[in-house]
Amino acid sequence: MSGPAVPQMHIFDTPEAAGQALARLTAEQSAAAVARRGWFNVALSGGSMPRLLFPPLVSPPYVQQVDWSRWRLFWADERYTPLHHADSNFRLAREYLLSQVRIPAEQVFPIDDSFDLDVTARLYHDLLVQVLEAPPGQPPRFDMVLLGMGEDGHTASLFPGHPLLQESTRWAAFLTDSPKPPPERVTLTLPVLNHARCVAFLATGAGKADTLARVLHPSKPDTTLPAALVRPADGELHWFIDRAAAAKLDSIPD
């Protein structure tokens, strides 16, 4: 282990430019993972991520560069709703990604509401262990996890002050008290996020500037904020940010 990853910040004039750059990194990570291990295991989020990332990713030049047949698609979190529901993160991925490229259906692993909430989370935990071949007691290792950040500093469905921030043995867990509706959700836990080979955040908009300055403080990141707790122990950490979100950072790289 090399210690917690230092955030690499990529700052752009517009949200669309940030999404375009993240598409390039995603294509690069996909090619490297397929070349080394035969699969690209990736976990997605909802929010603005699908709208900003997927349109450039499914367009030239990246759509031809990516070997979609080797993708295995998971979700970093999901609202406990039917997959076609307006609140579903899967629905966004289907609209912006799955309807545009050919990823084999048996390699797409959504979190759905077919079982009781606790059973759904437990089954997803077991699925991650099985498909990603996690050694006993160790978190599954994703090639890439794509995350957003809320104005309150939450990421996936891990919220400030929530007991799930202390979870250490469940790789997927449920909550019934999300401060943002809907309250019932399933989320990957911090040990999984911090075991990934690459984590990339996409954060845009002036409404996130104050929180982002706390998360990315160069010497004292605010560890009460879940997004600040995502620091892969043996992997890369990237932040793709627009100028509005970066406005209150102490320094902005050229």
Query: d(Cα 139, Cα 121) in Å, to the nearest integer?
Result: 15
Tokens linked to 120: 């759904």
Mean pLDDT of the chain: 95
Give the angle subtended at the CA of 190 by the CAs of 53 and 6, to the nearest 5°. Answer: 70
pLDDT interval class at 150 (50, 70, 90)? very high
pLDDT digit string (tens) for 51-84?
Answer: 999 999 999 999 999 999 999 999 999 999 999 9
Q: Which amino acid is at 8?
A: Q
Query: d(Cα 187, Cα 22) in Å, to the nearest integer?
Result: 22
Tokens linked to 163: 């007991």
pLDDT, average across residues 105-132: 96
pLDDT interval class at 112 (50, 70, 90)? confident
H-helix or E-strand spanning residue 248: none
Does residue 250 surpass a pLDDT of 90? no
Alpha-helical (H) ranges within the chain are 15-37, 49-57, 62-65, 89-93, 117-131, 190-193, 209-215
Say how many C-beta atoms besides its own lie within 10 A of residue 148's C-beta.
22
Sequence-ordered list of residues with C-beta below 8 angstroms from that of 78, at least 6 positions apart, any chain: 46, 88, 89, 90, 110, 111, 112, 157, 185, 186, 187
pLDDT digit string (tens) for 181-206?
Answer: 999 999 999 999 999 999 999 999 99
Tokens linked to 109: 């692993």
Nearest to 190 by CA among 206, 167, 159, 213: 167
Residue 1 has a pLDDT of 45
Say how many C-beta atoms besides its own lie within 10 A of residue 181's C-beta.
9
Does residue 254 surpass a pLDDT of 80? no
Q: Domain 8-222+233-242 falls in which CATH fold?
A: Rossmann fold (3.40.50)
pLDDT digit string (tens) for 231-243?
Answer: 999 999 999 999 9
pLDDT interval class at 144 (50, 70, 90)? very high
Q: Which is it for the CA torsion 194, 9, 58, 97, positive or negative?
A: positive
Residue 69: φ, ψ to 5°: -70, -15
Q: Which amino acid is at 24?
A: R
Residue 2 has a pLDDT of 59
Query: d(Cα 71, Cα 26) in Å, to the nearest integer?
Result: 11
164 DSSP 8-state letter: G
Query: d(Cα 151, Cα 61) in Å, to the nearest integer?
Result: 33
Rounded to the nearest angstrom, the gap between the alpha carbon of residue 48 and the centroid of all alpha carbons in its chain is: 12
Q: Which is it for the CA torsion 196, 38, 75, 201, positive or negative?
A: positive
Reported pTM: 0.95
